[in-house]
Amino acid sequence: MSLHVALLRGINVGGRNQVAMSDLRNLLVALGFAGAKSLLQSGNLVFESDRRTVAELERLLEVETAKRLGVTADYIIRSADEWKTMVARNPFPEEAKRDPGHLVVMFLKSAPQAKDVQSLQAAIEGPESLRSEGKSLYLVYPAGIGPRS
């Protein structure tokens, strides 16, 4: 059995797509996944599976969440090994040590194309930096995240 982390997008945000974490845990159990756990109302789940690829797990959980809970949500799933790799490949290790509160990792369903990352980098007008590594986009916001005055 492999340990997986599921990050859900589009639930419990601004009163939209409300779903109890207990319902999500129960869904995972009903689908045969072991060790299903959640963190508060975060939309983050941990579970064990050895039956499918990450892409297959994402699709299965998206379909079953819509069918059984009436909620449309995107699942971004990483295995424990992928999670370790994401941490190890952080292209901003100094920033992570010095100012971890301003380093963000955005999890993507697929790796972005190099030209798209370059376009995004070229559009940055402030002190922010970003790098792409596989299905992760690392962003550093040295002046904070949010509008500038």
Q: pLDDT tens digits for 87-115?
A: 999 999 999 999 999 999 999 999 999 99
pLDDT at residue 1 is higher than 90: no
> Is residue 38 exposed (0-12), middle (13-18) or buried (19+ Cβ within 10 Å)?
buried
How sure is the predictor about 14, in pLDDT bands with cuts at 50, 70 and 90? low
Report field, pTM of the whole predicted structure over 0.75: yes
Domains detected in the chain: 2-82 (3.30.70.1280), 89-140 (no CATH)
Euclidean distance between CA atoms 148 and 143, whole angstroms: 9
How sure is the predictor about 13, in pLDDT bands with cuts at 50, 70 and 90? low
pLDDT in the model for residue 149: 63
How sure is the predictor about 33, in pLDDT bands with cuts at 50, 70 and 90? very high
> Is residue 58 exposed (0-12), middle (13-18) or buried (19+ Cβ within 10 Å)?
middle
